[in-house]
Structure 1
Amino acid sequence: MVYDAVAAPSMHNAQPWRFRYFQGSRTFHLRADFDRVMPHSDPDARALHLGCGAALLNLRTAVVHEGWYPAIRLLPDPADPALVATVRLTDGAGGESDLAALYPAIHRRHSSRFPFEETEIPESVRTALSDAADREGATLSFPGPWHQQEVLELVQEAERRNITDAGSDDDLAQWTRIDAPSVNTAADGIPDYAFGPRKRGGKAPMRDFAGTRPVAGRDSADFEQSPQLALLSTTDDHPADWLRAGQAMERVLLLATLEGLSGSFATQALEWADLRWPLRDPVTGRGHTQMVLRLGYGPGGPTTPRRPVPEVLDIEP
């Protein structure tokens, strides 16, 4: 079950989680690993909680797949903020039985930083993805032309800032693997084979994880002129909301994978407080944007490394 849980995405593949399983009570503790927070790009640990939420959704799905019902508590101990959730295994899948259908997508879902087709996602699929987010207490919206242009401009502004921002560069340098030895041996971070091609043209909001560093054999490519973006938001903006958003994000991505879609993240503007706020719904002015997803039909991404289960799981009597 933990092997399935850690297949979840996290910012720069930092994998900021640890698990402890108590055999007597059949209970998992999911703990945030704050040593893996991005000090500059994620100073409030919001993205860290999203990653833990995504791992929690995978764990819930794996529990249901094994025939149990996951009884969940978020942030059960105010004195221990690292304990982000407990999951107790009880008899019968109960109201979570629909998660079982998502299980085959857990190890098929990979971030794809390759060009997608211009084919529009059908409205029925968009509705299903929005419903999936709603099941987890979040909202998934597909911005119209005006709002999408605003989102793209905010991402571009964030990219311009990142070029000269030492803190952003430090975070990337810590969690990207370009030299051959670390690419082959690291169990976390983003290896250069997963960077995707350098963007030559198009409007898709692609982060260049290489920065100014050369990557041998890396190609350039034209990306979508009309990228299909989805904004995931919550009503409030506290750690519990971030955990719900992470679960919604992963539920959306697993369903998207089953629907033949690929996806990647555009977090650049979310990493700047003054750029994150304007991402919200321009009509209502409400909601806190937690993630910008790029979805579409195109090649799936490669498998990226994960820490071995014994490194992240402790088993107690």
Structure 2
Amino acid sequence: MKKFNLYSLFIFCVALVFTGCDGEEESEVLQNRKIAGVAINVSGFGKVQGEPEDFDNLEESELSILANELTMEVSENSIEDASLISNFEVVKTFNGGEEILVDTFEALPFTVNLSDISEFVSGLTVTENDLKIGDQFRFTVKVNQTNGESYYYQGQSFNLTVNCFADLNGTYSVTNSVCGSGSTGTIPPIQITETPDGAWELETADGGLLQYCTSNPLVNGGKITVICGEVQPTSDVDYCGDYGIGCIQGGTWNQETGVLELILNDDFFGNGEYTATYIKQ
């Protein structure tokens, strides 16, 4: 199965918070900590979708853009020190490259709306014709302070991967190769919903292994990325990182039949590699 290299998200600290052993030490450290001045919330949705000329060579194929949009809503979460803030900027990068200014705002809240592909590539060294499946746009909020310092809210960036059209939203019946339709005979229908940046949230991401193949009632939810029908490997499953349950190795999505096939791995219960099938209802 072909794998695409998605760019890693590096999270930079915008505020350093320490806890001392006593009140005096804690107070001294907190007085010297650096703060951005405001905590923010970022919400909205976005996508860049197209149809490649050659599905067998996605990384090289020319792409016809079919849909693109970005609505990025930025609001205040809490204020630490408003006097520190000069203004806000939204900046973008393409495939981790040079930072390009999208717009500047004097205060919160504000919204960034892009509706044409020319707005996505504006200021970049690439054009619409250069875009390929797997390319990534990242939109990040930057706060500029009155003292000339700047902070990036990298953990709340909008990350849009250039992709083929896909719609996994819906309710699914689920079976897996460990216990079929569950140890009691039934795995209830599960929901799959789109995330704001074009990934897919699975109410149960391990094919029901933890909740329905064992006596453990915990729900093992997670998130997947699908690029032109191929599920990308991920450990973004609730009980994968610490326990090795339901780690996703790959899989496929068939837009025509509505069938999602996942290849997973289980270390905790000793099942090793197994598969799960999700069928849209």
TM-score category (smaller protein): under 0.3
What TM-score do you get using the length of structure 1 for normalisation? Answer: 0.23
Specify which structure has the bigger relative contact order, considering alpha-carbon pairs within 8 angstroms and separated by 6 or more residues.
1
Question: Larger strand proportion, structure 1 or 2?
Answer: 2
TM-score (norm 2): 0.25
Higher normalized helix content (fraction of residues): 1
